[in-house]
Structure formats: C-alpha cells, structure tokens
C-alpha cells in the first residue's frame, strides 16, 4: 500500500468520529430541555411583564425597585418553596399562612417575656411551627382526613389561636433590637438578609428533592402512593415529616414578618399567603395531584408574581386587582396542567 493510500486511513483513525444525529451539549434543544419548557414560559412572561411596566413607569426597572421586589416576595416565597415539597408528596397545606401568623406572634411575645432575648423568641417561633406542622400531619395520617380538608380546618383554627393569644392585636416591639433589625434590613454580600434566607431554604429543598433518597421517595409517594407503599416506603412517616417541615419553614417566614413589621402580627401580615404559595407552586409546574414539580420553577413563579404585584402598584392599579390576577393565574395554571396531562375533563364525555 502506498503512502497516499495510508494517509487517509491514518487520518480517519486519529480523528474523533461524531455519532450521526448527536447534538452538541450546548445545542438549543439540550438547553431548552435542561431549563424546561415550563420555566422558559415563566421567563418569557417575566420579560413581558418587565417590558410592559417598564414602559409605563421609568422607575419600575430601577435597581432599588427590583431589590424591593426581591425583599417583598421573601415571606410568601418561603411558603411557596415548602408548599412545593408538600404538593410533590401528593398533599396540600392550606394552613401555612396561619402558621406564619402564630409564629409571628409567638416570636414577639417570647422576645418581650424574656426581656428582649431575640434568639429565644426565634427558637420559640420555630418550635411552635414544628408543633403546628406535626398536628397537621397527625390529623391527616391517624385521623385519615384528606390533607385539603384537614389543613382547611387548621387554617381557621391556627388563625383563631393567633388572635386568642394576642387579643387580636399586634404584640411586642422588636424594632429596637439589633438581631431583628439585622433580619429586616441587614445585608450579606450586598443582598438583603431575607433574600439570603429564602435562597438558603430553596437550595436546601432542591438538594433534598433531587440528590437524596428522601427526595426520590417523596416523588414516588406523590406519583403513585400504592407502588411506593409496596416498595417499602413508610408513607405515614413521610407525610408527618413533610408537614413538620412545612411548619418549620412557615415559622421562619413568621419571624421575618415580625422583623419587618416590628411586632407580632396575628393575621394582617399573613392572611392570603397560602393562596400566593399555592399559586406560585402551580405556576412553577407542580402537579396538584403530586409527583411532579421543581424548586427552580416555583422560585421563577414567585418572582413573576412579585413583579406583577409591584407593577400593578407602581402604575397605580387598585390593589384588589392583585387578588383577581392571582386567582386567574392559578386557574390558568391548573387548566394548562389538565390539558397537558391528557386526562378526561371532569363532566365531559369520553
């Protein structure tokens, strides 16, 4: 064989062969698949909202206003993140807003009764959240009550508890305490402390769901509880643990609420937070039947809702329209999920 004949063979032996049809790791299809079509839709909606309100008011895209949006979404963002875990497990916690209200009051009252010990106030609030979450889980598991009905009942009960122990009034005054001032207005690496807290909780929940056996079991329970039970997963323990987790995160949200307002708020600061949390989780791609959802999608939805609320305020729209917008978005999210699932719509012929 001549040198001319050997050259092409040698070249082909040293040149890496790309498999036919294999796309680059940075191809548009792979990027879209990695981000998710649902998340891309949220990003697109966020860009549209920013463009609309930015054109209507020059101050909307101001860095200070954007930072304000980030701080404003922290409380319901925490509830939305933990609601995502609850929904993925196939349940729903409608009482998270009321739990935050009870924790807010407890943190302020404990702070006052301990002569201004902020750390004891915070620990008391978190301990209260753990107990309230455990009560939800025990009612659902051992009372054999549907999670929606159980937490709808405790929504009212916990709201009543917050009003009873506070006399229906804001409790304590924490604005002269350095710890609560730091929680409300402090910054770490240029970012507000509440935003840091939300980021830490979101990362922890993401790692839990994606990289641990506990997370995989939570997805399995929400996807098919019968199969999960047959595979040896103790569903009752997981349900109780998930609701205890929800109570703890709701308590953290309550502490931030106390720090922001300067006192324990039994109802005014926490009312309606459960609707926002569920709306954000549904918009973020959580299937309300369980087994599907991501923390990243929920966070995008939280930012979207915050941007929408802020935009309506900036352009002077009546704040009552915010509730209309949230309700409409929740309906839209559920309708889209139903259409994508391919299931027969309720009440229509097959």
| Count of beta carbons in the 10 Å neighbourhood of residue 49 | 18
Domain count, the chain: 1
The Cα 234–Cα 260 span in angstroms is 40
Q: By three-state DSSP, how is residue 316 classified?
A: coil
The Cα 117–Cα 124 span in angstroms is 11
Please compute the mean of the pLDDT values over residues 172-179 and round it to a whole number: 84
Residues of the chain with pLDDT > 70: what percent? Answer: 84
In a domain, 93, yes or no: yes
CATH of residue 81's domain is: 1.10.3470
In a domain, 17, yes or no: no
The Cα 46–Cα 301 span in angstroms is 9
Which residue(s) pair with 78 in the sheet? none
In a domain, 212, yes or no: yes
User: Of the candidates 136, 151, 147, 144, which has an alpha carbon nearest to the alpha carbon of residue 241?
Assistant: 136
The Cα 316–Cα 324 span in angstroms is 15
Looking at per-residue confidence, does 5 or 235 come out higher?
Answer: 235
Query: Is 184 a residue whose pLDDT tops 50?
Result: yes
User: Of the candidates 19, 53, 20, which has an alpha carbon nearest to the alpha carbon of residue 313?
Assistant: 53
For every residue of 106-148, DSSP letters joined together read: HHHHHHHHTTS-HHHHHHHHHHHHHHHHHHHHHHHHHTT--HH
Please tell me the predicted confidence (pLDDT) of residue 334: 75
Query: Is 315 a residue whose pLDDT tops 90?
Result: no
List Cβ neighbours of 233 (8 Å cut-off, separation of 6 or more): 217, 220, 221
Query: Is 17 a residue whose pLDDT tops 80?
Result: no
Query: Is 154 a residue whose pLDDT tops 80?
Result: yes
In a domain, 1, yes or no: no
Q: Which pLDDT band holds residue 337 (cuts at 50, 70, 90)?
A: low
Residue-range definition of the domain harbouring residue 256:
41-54+62-312
In a domain, 33, yes or no: no
pLDDT (tens digit per residue) in 83-101: 999 999 999 999 999 999 9
The Cα 292–Cα 85 span in angstroms is 10
pTM: 0.85
The pair of three-digit structure tokens given for residue 246, joined into one six-digit string: 């929800």
What is the maximal distance between C-alpha atoms in the chain? 100
Say how many Å lie between the first and final Cα of the chain, rounded: 71
For every residue of 39-66, DSSP letters joined together read: HHHHHHHHHHHHHHHHHH-TTTTSHHHH
In a domain, 191, yes or no: yes
pLDDT (tens digit per residue) in 264-282: 888 876 678 888 899 899 8
| Count of beta carbons in the 10 Å neighbourhood of residue 304 | 21
The pair of three-digit structure tokens given for residue 332, joined into one six-digit string: 């839209």
Please tell me the predicted confidence (pLDDT) of residue 26: 56
Please tell me the predicted confidence (pLDDT) of residue 146: 94
Least confident segment among 73-82, 248-257, 306-315:
306-315
In a domain, 320, yes or no: no
| Count of beta carbons in the 10 Å neighbourhood of residue 281 | 31
Which residue(s) pair with 191 in the sheet? 188
Please compute the mean of the pLDDT values over residues 17-29 and round it to a whole number: 53
Nearest 5°: phi and psi at 181? -65, -40
| Count of beta carbons in the 10 Å neighbourhood of residue 70 | 18
Looking at per-residue confidence, does 222 or 316 come out higher?
Answer: 222
pLDDT (tens digit per residue) in 209-242: 999 999 999 999 999 999 999 999 999 999 999 9
Query: Is 11 a residue whose pLDDT tops 50?
Result: no
In a domain, 11, yes or no: no
Please tell me the predicted confidence (pLDDT) of residue 106: 94
């Amino acid at each position: 064989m001549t040198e001319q004949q050997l050259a092409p063979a040698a070249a082909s032996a040293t040149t890496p062969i790309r498999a036919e049809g294999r796309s680059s790791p940075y191809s548009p299809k792979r990027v879209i698949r990695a981000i998710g079509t649902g998340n891309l839709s949220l990003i697109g909606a966020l860009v549209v909202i920013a463009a609309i309100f930015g054109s209507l008011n020059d101050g909307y895209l101001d860095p200070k206003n954007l930072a304000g949006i980030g701080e404003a979404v922290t409380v319901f963002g925490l509830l939305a993140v933990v609601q995502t875990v609850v929904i993925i497990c196939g349940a729903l916690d409608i009482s998270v807003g009321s739990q935050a209200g009870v924790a807010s009051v407890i943190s302020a009252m404990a702070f006052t009764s301990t002569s201004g010990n902020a750390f004891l106030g915070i620990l008391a609030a978190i301990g209260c959240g753990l107990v309230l979450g455990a009560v939800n889980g025990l009612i659902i598991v051992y009372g054999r009550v549907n999670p929606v009905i159980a937490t709808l009942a405790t929504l009212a009960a916990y709201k009543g508890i917050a009003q009873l122990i506070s006399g229906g009034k804001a409790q304590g005054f924490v604005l002269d305490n350095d710890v609560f001032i730091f929680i409300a207005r402090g910054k770490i690496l240029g970012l507000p402390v509440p935003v840091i807290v939300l980021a830490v909780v979101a990362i922890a929940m993401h790692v839990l769901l994606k990289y641990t056996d506990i997370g995989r079991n939570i997805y399995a329970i929400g996807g098919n509880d019968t199969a999960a039970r047959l595979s040896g997963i103790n569903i009752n323990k997981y349900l109780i643990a998930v609701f205890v987790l929800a109570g703890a995160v709701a308590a953290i949200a309550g502490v931030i609420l106390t720090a922001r307002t300067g006192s324990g708020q039994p109802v005014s600061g926490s009312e309606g937070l459960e609707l926002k949390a569920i709306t954000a989780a549904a918009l973020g791609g959580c299937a309300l039947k369980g087994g599907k959802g991501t923390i990243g999608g929920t966070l995008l939805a939280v930012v979207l809702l915050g941007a929408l609320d802020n935009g309506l305020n900036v352009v002077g729209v009546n704040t009552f329209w915010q509730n209309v917008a949230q309700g409409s978005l929740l309906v839209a999210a559920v309708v889209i999920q139903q259409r994508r699932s391919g299931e027969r719509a309720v009440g229509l012929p097959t």
